[in-house]
Amino acid sequence: MRKLKDLILLGLLWFAAFLTVAVLVTIVGFIFYKGIGLISFDFIFGDYSPSGGGGIWPMVVTTIYTIVISLLIATPIGILAAVYLQEYAKQGRMVRIIRFATESLTGIPSIIYGLFGAVFFVTTLKLGMSIIAASLTLTIIILPVIIRTTEESLKTVPQSYREGSLALGTTKLQTLYKVILPSAMPGILSGIILSMGRIIGESAAIFLTAGTVAAMPESIFSSARTLTVHSYLVTQEAGDIELAAAIGIILIAIILILNFSATWISKKLNKADY
């Protein structure tokens, strides 16, 4: 009887795992099946042509711009904020309110951020529809993610490390810099990877702040179109599923490359400490 129960449970676990993998494989498989025919050197690195048949290079560049700029702004601010909340702030009402606020921010639909960005960055700050306006909007979107994950990973650093370091006559800053942050690095990095996913997946907020200009951006103050927005537009306007799927493949490739490089950097950082 117990054996049977065991078997049923095992079956359920196996089925759940299978279902998860199957969904993933189906989606990725579908995208590859539809889009792989369009992938070529010219498609990736060619300039866009409005009459069709052109490449997507301007969108790839725009996507990379938005990722890099948003992360450059959000990562230091997010990590510093999390360090303050977790290591320095007196754990009281104020901190609870800030925590509640950051948690709530993660749940807000991105179109709301997009509207805010359109009003504040684009109009009030007169940045216009531009990569920088979109990046700043994205910064606000990913900031809570980075703060939360950094805080969580700081929490997992054993208290004994802090005590051990401080008992050796080190300052709080030395302890933070030499012991706590290196130990929390993997968690912080996973927060950054999550944020990259959020940026790449974002369409509504970017659509409203960077616009849809399908050309190579001259600078970060130009209006431009990211891959995700492009993918949305070609599906919506032209109904070109194959082109959208091909863009999907490129997006998956970019995510994989970024994830692997993040993991590689984290390994390098850890090695340096041993």
Q: Which stretch binds another protein (CB under 8 A): 79-87, 156-164, 249-257, 261-269?
A: 156-164
Given 93, 160, 237, 268, the residue binding another protein (CB under 8 A): 160
Q: Counting contacts by CB under 8 A, is residue 104 touching another protein?
A: no
Q: What angle do CA 194, 262, 66 make, to 5 degrees?
A: 60
Q: Counting contacts by CB under 8 A, is residue 47 touching another protein?
A: no
Q: Counting contacts by CB under 8 A, is residue 4 touching another protein?
A: no
Rounded Cα–Cα distance for residues 151 and 192 (Å): 13
C-beta atoms surrounding 35 within 10 Å: 21
Kindly state the greatest CA–CA separation across the chain. Answer: 72
Q: Counting contacts by CB under 8 A, is residue 182 touching another protein?
A: yes
Question: Is 218:130 a contact under the CB 8 Å cutoff?
Answer: no
Given 106, 170, 212, 259, the residue binding another protein (CB under 8 A): 170
Q: Counting contacts by CB under 8 A, is residue 95 touching another protein?
A: no
Given 49, 174, 219, 236, the residue binding another protein (CB under 8 A): 174
Q: Counting contacts by CB under 8 A, is residue 156 touching another protein?
A: no
Rounded Cα–Cα distance for residues 246 and 92 (Å): 51
Q: Counting contacts by CB under 8 A, is residue 85 touching another protein?
A: no
Rounded Cα–Cα distance for residues 78 and 54 (Å): 39
How many residues bind another protein (CB under 8 A)? The answer is: 22
CB of 166 to another protein, least distance (A): 7
Distances (CA, A) of 258 to 194, 200, 205: 11, 11, 22
Q: Which stretch binds another protein (CB under 8 A): 44-52, 119-127, 179-187, 259-267?
A: 179-187
Encoded amino acid at 190, one letter: S
Q: Which stretch binds another protein (CB under 8 A): 138-146, 155-163, 197-205, 258-266?
A: 155-163
The DSSP call for residue 258 is H
Rounded Cα–Cα distance for residues 123 and 118 (Å): 6
Which residue number, 37 or 164, has a Cβ lying nearer to another protein? 164
Residues 62, 202, 25, 5: what is their CA dihedral angle, to the nearest 10 degrees? 150
Which residue ranges make up the site for another protein (CB under 8 A)? 90-91, 158, 160-171, 174, 178-179, 182-183, 273-274
